[in-house]
A and B are shown apart, each in its own frame.
Chain A
Amino acid sequence: MQIAYEKQTLDNGLDVIVHEDHGCPIVAVNLWYHVGSKNERPGRTGFAHLFEHLMFEGSAHFDRGYFHPLQEVGGTLNGSTSTDRTNYWEVVPTGAFERALWMESDRMGYLLPALTQEKFETQREVVLNERRQNYENRPYGLVPMALMAALHPPDHPYHWLTIGEPDDLRAAGLADVKAFFATYYHPGNASLAIAGDVRAADAFGEACRHFEEIPCGPPPPPPAVPAEADSDGERRLLLVDRVELPRLYLAWRTPPLFAADDAELDLLAELLTGGKASRLYRRLVREQRIATDVSAAQGSRELASSFFIAATAAPGHDLAELEAVIADELDALRTDPPGDDEVERARTTADADFVYRTQTVGGFGGRSDQLNLYNVLAGDPGYGPSDRARYAAALPQALRRAADLHLRAEQRVAVSVVPAGETAAALPDSVLVSPR
């Protein structure tokens, strides 16, 4: 489904994209900065996300928390940081559209005068608690650190997670905030999408009035991406965690978002674990009953993607049993193209998901967020139909080829997570690691 839009670029380099929809009296404001943890350096990991927190703590002309003035007019707001980008959004009643723009523009133009050591330290504590809650105190929560570290070399910007390392967060200071703001938070590195109950001419006018005064900064340096050597064989890692049941993670480095084979790998994940008829769910969970769950995904990103398969062993079974079935199904996919009907179902599911994503104008994944994704990462807010066409064009033979090229055993990282005292359940020859 095409999301109709108009785009203008202000003199300072800010892209402004407007999508009109008058079905509900709300307006979504969505602002992307093309910076994420991929722009960090070793020793200061987690900083892009910590910075995002500071963006909610006030700016020069409104030096207090950003939630109050938006919640008091019935708005909702949030932000998030990934490896590739940081986004901020508000969904407000039509009458509060100007207030949302005023606030977004004030923190883009005038954040630093409002920043204090005290705000910085409190938000650092909040972020450390976010890390404790979502990673350290959660079963299997430290696996992503181990996986990304094994998939990418130490100087690759995907080697670390966006949440960062606690010691790095503690080492950061206000000087880092100032440098980061100057480098990445300016109109030339941002994209503003406005969607909902507003006339395009008014939206562009208000965008100019609020953002045009902010000067463009120099183009940020591209992230330093070392050439990744071909993997010289499978790596097997072992994690002993506070879990009840052993779980196996298999991961591969795969082509970036929108590159050749990205859509094919996405469809392969659906074939493998999407629903009760999928190949792996059927064999592991339904027929052999040696696993309690299995999932797969192509995690598409700007510099490189990762393809994951995760399966939890049923009591009394070990991860080598699960691995054998997974390897068998991957071999089958590498050898014979999947059936037309099976691929057609996966394509229909993917296609329906494009429609599902158009239900709301705002928030994470809504129409405004999609327009920015396409604008920032594909260079064209109108890339939606081309994105969708990739799936329609994926033929069974192409899926077979993608599996053969990208999902080989010798290229993968295998992480076994086991409860204390049950290392025998891990894949043989796994090397113990201790992420924190």
Chain B
Amino acid sequence: MPRADRTRLPLPGADPEFTLPVFERADLAGGTAVRVAEHRRAPLLTLHLLLPTGYAADPPDKPGLASLTAALFEEGSAGLSAVELDAALKRIGGHLSTAVSSDATVVALTVLSQHAAAGLRLLFEITMQPRLDAEDVARERDLRVNRIRQQRQSPGAIADRVYLETLYGEHPYGHLSIGTESALRSIEPAHVAAFHRRGYTAAPWTLVAAGDVAPADFITEAERAWTAVATPVDRSPAATAAPDPPPAGERMVFVARDGAVQSEIRLGHVGPPRRSPDYHALMVLNMVLGGQFVSRVNQNLREAKGYTYGASTAFDWRVGRGPFRVQTSVQTTATVDAIREAVREVVDIRGSRPPSDQELAVAQAALTRGFPRTLETSAQIVRAGVQIALHGLPADAYAQFPNRIAAVGAADVRRAAERHLHPGALVAVVVGSRPEVFDGLAGLGFGAPVERGAD
């Protein structure tokens, strides 16, 4: 057999056709929508129940209420204690988790597919008829208070929280889903029950599923399970997007962690919502700037300078205007230089150094040719279905994604950068050691640094 030719890298061959599984649709009595895709890779079934209420719906004086309420789904239902629920899940090989983002709550359950009926029943039961036992509420609330306390010593968690507070202030996106210690302490079981009624059962739900099932059978099982547990509710239309946030006041915020060997850094500003017409151009732009290993920010801060283990950028795609952010953790002595370099990358990509044709080709290929591996598993397919439902995207939004990305031109990316990157509005949050770091922050063009406490 001839040896490989080592004078040049093998050119990639054409990729085979990739066809996304199609979601079958049905509507259950009472307005819950079902989307199910047949995907027979493993004898598993992934279920995501999308409840379009997230932590942006927290009452202004009770940040953390949505997340606490959703956590109580895992504490049992009217008919099952938490311990009984846990045992019931184990018997069907079930993995249950709840995630509360700004705009939605997703209750995710994966089960061995032979237990589809039992899984559906449990999922509807815990979300429609959660137990909300007063003692469970108090214990879960206290556990969360303690987690917030522990986060005071976690530089990444501090930086994430202070970054959102600085960008959004009192806006519904201005806190983490876990909320604040003082707000949690004020939450009583009655608040949770009322929030569940108003925030969760009153909004239309979507059940997204994929796995080793026949869609028609699955829909029948879903109807059966739903009929068994659903209580009649008056459903209002989905919540509208959060309003636009006001411009940030402070631009350089510092949290002291004296003696820290690294500085945790967040840098950015409010970005566009998911429904932005520039979504695809911004996906390409971000791949050039900081979306993957070979992107500019990581190549500069890690591979050229060795300041950090990694640096990245991301647009947080929300229903309303989510944050754009550069994120890294750098050795203490490199703090000021790292921020200066990161700012320079944001400035240059919309100014003196727009993405080159080669960079655009790499970014687009990463997104288009890398597309199939992002939809390999049932869980990945279900997450795509959830995004379509949450943002009201066209049913073929994913199927069309590679074409839309391929159609993005250099001018589109330049225009998107001009429209959506705002170097003059950048805000920085630094969690680091005061003696080595603080004074240098004043010279970065963000104005005088403002110091905040870790709590």
Residues of A in contact with B (beta carbons under 8 Å apart): 1, 23-26, 60-62, 65, 67-69, 71-76, 91, 93-96, 98-99, 102-103, 105-106, 110, 121-126, 128-130, 132-134, 136-139, 197, 205, 208-210, 212-213, 242-245, 275-278, 282, 285-286, 289, 292-293, 312, 314-315, 345-346, 348-349, 351-352, 355-356, 358-362
Given known A-B contacts A93-B15, A99-B9, A352-B93, A130 and B309 have beta carbons under 8 A apart: yes
Q: What is the distance, in angstroms, from A159's C-beta to the closest C-beta of chain B? A: 23
* Cβ–Cβ < 8 Å partners of B305 in chain A: 122
Known interface pairs A197-B16, A278-B86; 14 further A-B residue pairs with C-beta atoms within 8 A, sorted by A's residue number: A24-B18, A24-B372, A68-B294, A71-B293, A71-B370, A73-B12, A134-B309, A212-B3, A243-B153, A244-B153, A285-B143, A345-B90, A348-B90, A348-B91
- Alpha-carbon separation in the docked complex, A36 to B43 (Å): 35
Q: What is the distance, in angstroms, from B141's C-beta to the closest C-beta of chain A? A: 12
* Cβ–Cβ < 8 Å partners of B10 in chain A: 98-99, 102
SS class of chain B's interface: helix, strand, loop or mixed? mixed
The contact of B146 among A132, A136, A210, A315, by CB within 8 Å, is A315
The contact of B306 among A103, A126, A133, A345, by CB within 8 Å, is A126
- Alpha-carbon separation in the docked complex, A374 to B193 (Å): 50
- On whether the beta carbons of A25 and B150 are closer than 8 Å, the reply is no
B residues 282-323 near A (Cβ < 8 Å) are: 292-294, 299, 302-309
The contact of A23 among B41, B94, B292, by CB within 8 Å, is B41
* Cβ–Cβ < 8 Å partners of B292 in chain A: 67, 71
| Nearest neighbor of A78 in chain B, beta-carbon distance | B293
Given known A-B contacts A72-B361, A358-B42, A99 and B309 have beta carbons under 8 A apart: no
Interface core residue of A99, A293, A314, A359 (most chain B CB under 10 Å): A359
Provide a sorted-by-A list of 6 A–B residue pairs whose CB atoms are within 8 angstroms.
A95-B369, A96-B12, A98-B10, A99-B10, A243-B150, A277-B90
* Cβ–Cβ < 8 Å partners of B94 in chain A: 352
- On whether the beta carbons of A105 and B4 are closer than 8 Å, the reply is yes
- Alpha-carbon separation in the docked complex, A67 to B296 (Å): 13
B residues 125-146 near A (Cβ < 8 Å) are: 139, 142-143, 146
Tell yes or no: B343 within 8 A of A by CB.
no
Tell yes or no: B411 within 8 A of A by CB.
no
| Nearest neighbor of B151 in chain A, beta-carbon distance | A244
Q: What is the distance, in angstroms, from B209's C-beta to the closest C-beta of chain A? A: 15
**Nearest 7 A/B pairs, CB to CB:** A74-B369, A352-B93, A125-B306, A74-B370, A95-B13, A277-B86, A345-B90
- Alpha-carbon separation in the docked complex, A139 to B112 (Å): 37
Tell yes or no: B425 within 8 A of A by CB.
no
* Cβ–Cβ < 8 Å partners of B74 in chain A: 276
How many residues of B sit at the interface, in one of the four size bands? 35 or more
Q: What is the distance, in angstroms, from A279's C-beta to the closest C-beta of chain B? A: 11
- Alpha-carbon separation in the docked complex, A132 to B306 (Å): 13
- On whether the beta carbons of B150 and A244 are closer than 8 Å, the reply is yes
- On whether the beta carbons of B309 and A275 are closer than 8 Å, the reply is no
* Cβ–Cβ < 8 Å partners of B341 in chain A: none
- On whether the beta carbons of A25 and B15 are closer than 8 Å, the reply is yes
Across chains A and B, the number of contacting residue pairs, with CB separation under 8 Å, is 227
B residues 241-295 near A (Cβ < 8 Å) are: 260-262, 264, 292-294
- On whether the beta carbons of B9 and A128 are closer than 8 Å, the reply is no
- Alpha-carbon separation in the docked complex, A242 to B154 (Å): 9
| Nearest neighbor of B8 in chain A, beta-carbon distance | A61
| Nearest neighbor of A274 in chain B, beta-carbon distance | B90
Q: What is the distance, in angstroms, from A355's C-beta to the closest C-beta of chain B? A: 6
- Alpha-carbon separation in the docked complex, A277 to B42 (Å): 28
The contact of B331 among A75, A129, A275, by CB within 8 Å, is A129
- Alpha-carbon separation in the docked complex, A326 to B283 (Å): 50
Tell yes or no: B237 within 8 A of A by CB.
no
The contact of A93 among B84, B308, B372, by CB within 8 Å, is B372
* Cβ–Cβ < 8 Å partners of A139 in chain B: 150, 153-154
- Alpha-carbon separation in the docked complex, A134 to B375 (Å): 30
- On whether the beta carbons of A355 and B154 are closer than 8 Å, the reply is no
| Nearest neighbor of A361 in chain B, beta-carbon distance | B376
B residues 360-401 near A (Cβ < 8 Å) are: 361-362, 365-373, 375-379
* Cβ–Cβ < 8 Å partners of B139 in chain A: 285-286, 289
* Cβ–Cβ < 8 Å partners of A244 in chain B: 146, 149-150, 152-153
Tell yes or no: B224 within 8 A of A by CB.
no
Tell yes or no: B424 within 8 A of A by CB.
no
Given known A-B contacts A76-B370, A76-B373, A275-B89, A122 and B303 have beta carbons under 8 A apart: yes
- On whether the beta carbons of A136 and B153 are closer than 8 Å, the reply is no
| Nearest neighbor of B136 in chain A, beta-carbon distance | A286
* Cβ–Cβ < 8 Å partners of B260 in chain A: 137
- On whether the beta carbons of A122 and B306 are closer than 8 Å, the reply is yes
